[in-house]
Amino acid sequence: DAGVTQSPTHLIKTRGQQVTLRCSPKSGHDTVSWYQQALGQGPQFIFQYYEEEERQRGNFPDRFSGHQFPNYSSELNVNALLLGDSALYLCASSSPGHSYEQYFGPGTRLTVT
Amino acid sequence: AQSVSQHNHHVILSEAASLELGCNYSYGGTVNLFWYVQYPGQHLQLLLKYFSGDPLVKGIKGFEAEFIKSKFSFNLRKPSVQWSDTAEYFCAVRNRLAFGKGNQVVVIP
């Protein structure tokens, strides 16, 4: 049983560019959450998707947007990249009725130069 | 808003020593509390969770945590650590998981 998978594992972008990160949830899971983890910090909640809609959102600007597909996979898009967007981006999934218990993927390391 | 505070961000212990990591939260609603662990080079993994019931929760690998409502705390403990417990430990609250800054624990063999 594959766990949460994310792609790519590493990414280098230039300021002002746009990036798309991808996540496939654990089998049987329907809810996907995204987190940003800066170096030396705990993960910060970006948003959560359920039934292809954004259900909750953390304190992140509109440059951060997402999408969930009918197969429950999800994308995180970041526009107009800033140096401060450099971080590990984590995806977590949870099963129906158990949105509090989240399983994390390995993350995508984004470096903005 | 929900927030989590973790203290003693860097902890260095010898094997067989006892470990206790503090976690304090602020959240006015129904409390769901978690401890996650991140071993070097690995994913975040759930160590244990508290939703309701017995405030003393047992997790994997001999870890336990105690929920004390009056103190808004959910401290993690292990009586005797091993070298393999070297990791970063995060306390988190609720389903959108407000995380603390983490505790970097190094166990010296």
Contact B95 A99 (CB under 8 A): yes
Contact B90 A35 (CB under 8 A): no
Give me the number of domains chain B comprises: 1
What was the pLDDT predicted at A1?
61
User: What is the span of the domain harbouring residue B7?
Assistant: 3-108
Contacts of B95 in chain A (CB under 8 A): 48, 94, 99-100, 102
What was the pLDDT predicted at A79?
97
Q: Is A108 on the interface with B (CB under 8 A)?
A: no
CATH class of A21-105: mainly beta
pLDDT at A13 over 60: yes
Q: Is A84 on the interface with B (CB under 8 A)?
A: no
Domain boundaries, chain A: 21-105
Q: How do A10-13 and A108-112 pair as beta strands?
A: parallel
> Which residue among B32, B36, B43 places its CB closest to the CB of A106?
B43
Summarised one tens digit per residue, pLDDT across range A35-66 is: 999 988 889 999 999 999 999 899 999 999 99
Q: What is the pLDDT along chain B (109 residues), one digit of tens a residue?
A: 678 899 878 999 999 999 999 999 887 677 789 999 999 888 899 999 998 899 999 999 999 999 998 999 999 999 999 999 999 999 998 756 778 889 999 999 9
> Which domain CATH number covers B11?
2.60.40.10
Summarised one tens digit per residue, pLDDT across range A65-86 is: 999 999 999 999 999 999 999 9
Q: Which two tokens stand for residue B27?
A: 């959240």
Percent of chain A with pLDDT over 90: 86
What was the pLDDT predicted at B56?
96
What was the pLDDT predicted at B28?
67
Cα angle A74, A80, A85 (rounded to 5 degrees) comes to 70
Contact A45 B98 (CB under 8 A): yes
What was the pLDDT predicted at B96?
62
What was the pLDDT predicted at A8?
97
